[in-house]
Amino acid sequence: MLYNIHVSIDVDVAMPVEDKSKSLLPFLSSPKLLPNESEAEFQSGLQSLLSELDNPSPLALALVSQLNESLWWIRRHTVDKELLLHEAMARILSKAGSYSETYDNRKVSEALEHYLDGRADKDEAEWIDEILAESKLTLSDLRVRAFKDAAKHIKLVDDLIHRQHQTMRHLQRSIDSIDYKSRLIKRMDLELAALESRQSVKGVLSLDDEPS
Amino acid sequence: MTMNHRRNLANRCNALKSTGPRSVAGKRASSQNSRKHGLSSAPVFESSLEYQALVELITEEGFSAFACADIAAGLLNYRRVMDAYYDTYTSPEPVDDFMRDMNVRASIPIFRELLSPSGSEPADVRDMAAFFAGIQRQERRKGGPVSRRSADTHKLIRYQRNGIARLSRSVRQG
């Protein structure tokens, strides 16, 4: 056991953390990003998490990268909640007024997306205003109705976000336990060194005492 | 009614007459149709290079051999789940625009025309229209791409819960 303790500390000193992370990270934290996501942002999140750890071990690095991924998933799912609302709003609009016979959700959906982002051209904005007027709805009414319609799907996304929070809690506890373990090992090592030095001092003293 | 719509309807009607694959290769391929993500099967990591490398690295942290094996398997298992999660999220069941947007009632004359060569009764046409209306209801209930990917990803929650619990347990007990 003591031998193991010494080995672990020797390795920590001999091998820089970056080298270890390089050997671990390729298959544990190669980010799988969507086409519109920024890898630099993902990496900066990871770096900021890592900066909170004092000399992290390779296992801690692996767990932190999983933690960062969970945070990233929470971000994605939060965006999805808004998109679900937009989807439901488009569905309501495409059923409204004279458009009920030509149920073209995609066209309405695109126009509405642009309208909400403020990127709609004049025609699109007029078209959406026209459908809203025809269906006797304001944008906020539409949003409320869409929320009611999409409640089931929004609940699913909330579950997904909740799951990521739970996952983060598990990972946090694991990182804490590794950190505690490494501190315990260091403390035991220090105590051992203190004991050894005390022993050697005693040995010297007893050798000194012998002649008298 | 455009020719394109008519052709689409004819294709759908003909597809209903299909009796499935006949060749051995076709049957083998279709036997995997219901396979979703493969997370229910027990994985074997011991022979993989990643597993060996992980065990080696974790051993250096002072864990016992048993704990190292457990943690490495836990990590790889969790990664497997999260990769499946990503794949499910990025490839949801596609929206069938044709089915979702079609006007079933307006398509009845085409059904009549398509079914008449076989001397179909009006009941057959009604059945066909009801069948298409049913599929359309299902299609609309599933919602758009975001609803679909949320619903599909939601099915993987239990695998994620088990995966992270296993990993966390192995690290804390190691």
SS in 3 state form for B106-169? HHHHHHHHHHHHHCCCHHHHHHHHHHHHHHHHHHHHHCCHHHHHHHHHHCCHHHHHHHHHHHHH
Would residue B104 count as lying in a domain? yes
The dihedral of CA A80, A75, A166, B40: what is its sign? positive
Do residue A80 and residue B150 have CB atoms under 8 angstroms apart?
A: yes
Is residue A119 situated within a structural domain?
Answer: yes
Instruction: Write the CB contacts of A7 (distance below 8 Å, at least 6 apart in sequence).
Output: B60, B62
Chain B nearest-CA distance from A206, in A, is: 36
Is the domain of B132 the same as that of B48?
no
Give the 3-state secondary structure of residue B28. helix
Q: Cβ of B147 and A87 within 8 Å?
A: yes
- Identify the domain containing residue B159 by its residue range: 43-94+144-174
d(CA A91, CA A153): 14
Indicate whether B80 and B157 sit together in one domain.
yes
Tell me, yes or no, whether A191 lies in a domain. Answer: no
Q: Are residues B137 and B54 in the same domain?
A: no
Q: Over the stretch B95-141, which tens digit does the pLDDT of each residue have?
A: 888 887 778 888 888 888 887 666 556 778 888 888 889 988 888 88
B47/B120 same-domain check? no
Strands (E), A62-148: none
For B164-174, the pLDDT digits (tens) are 999 999 998 87
Residue A197 lies in a domain: no
Nearest by Cα to B70 from A14, A59, A145:
A59
Residue A112 burial class via C-beta count within 10 angstroms: exposed 0-12, middle 13-18, buried 19 and up: buried
pLDDT at B104: 82
Would residue A48 count as lying in a domain?
yes
Residues B83 and B158 in one domain: yes
Tokens 């929650």, residue located:
B157
Q: Do residues B70 and B84 both lie within one domain?
A: yes
User: What confidence tens digit (pLDDT) does each residue in B140-161 have?
Assistant: 888 888 999 999 999 999 999 9
User: What distance in Å separates the CA atoms of residue A94 and residue A103, rounded to the nearest whole number?
Assistant: 6
Q: Is B54 part of any domain?
A: yes
Q: What is the pLDDT of residues A13-56, one digit of tens each?
A: 344 545 555 555 566 657 788 888 998 999 899 889 988 887 78
* A115 assigned to some structural domain: yes
Question: Which residue in A73, A59, A85, A53 sits closest to A153, CA to CA?
Answer: A85
User: Model pTM?
Assistant: 0.77
- 8 Å CB contact between A98 and A134: yes
Stretches in chain A below the pLDDT threshold 50: 1-15, 17, 101, 103
ipTM above 0.90, yes or no: no
Whether residue B161 lies within 8 A of chain A, CB to CB, comes out as: yes
Number of structural domains in chain B: 2
Residue A23 lies in a domain: no
Q: Is A193 domain-assigned? A: no
pLDDT for res A7? 29
The rounded Cα B108 to chain-centroid distance in angstroms is: 32
Residue A163 lies in a domain: yes
B25: in domain: no
Structural domain boundaries, residue A142: 34-186
User: Considering CB atoms only, which of B62, B153, B164 is closest to A4?
Assistant: B62
Q: Are residues B137 and B172 in the same domain?
A: no
CB B96 within 8 A of CB B139: yes
Count of the separate structural domains present in chain A = 1
Are residues B62 and A181, on separate chains, in Cβ contact within 8 Å?
yes
Which residue of A153, A175, A181, A183 is the best one to mutate when testing the B interface, meaning the one whose CB has the most B CBs within 10 A?
A: A153
CA-closest candidate to residue B143, choices B103, B83, B100: B100
In a domain, B7, yes or no: no
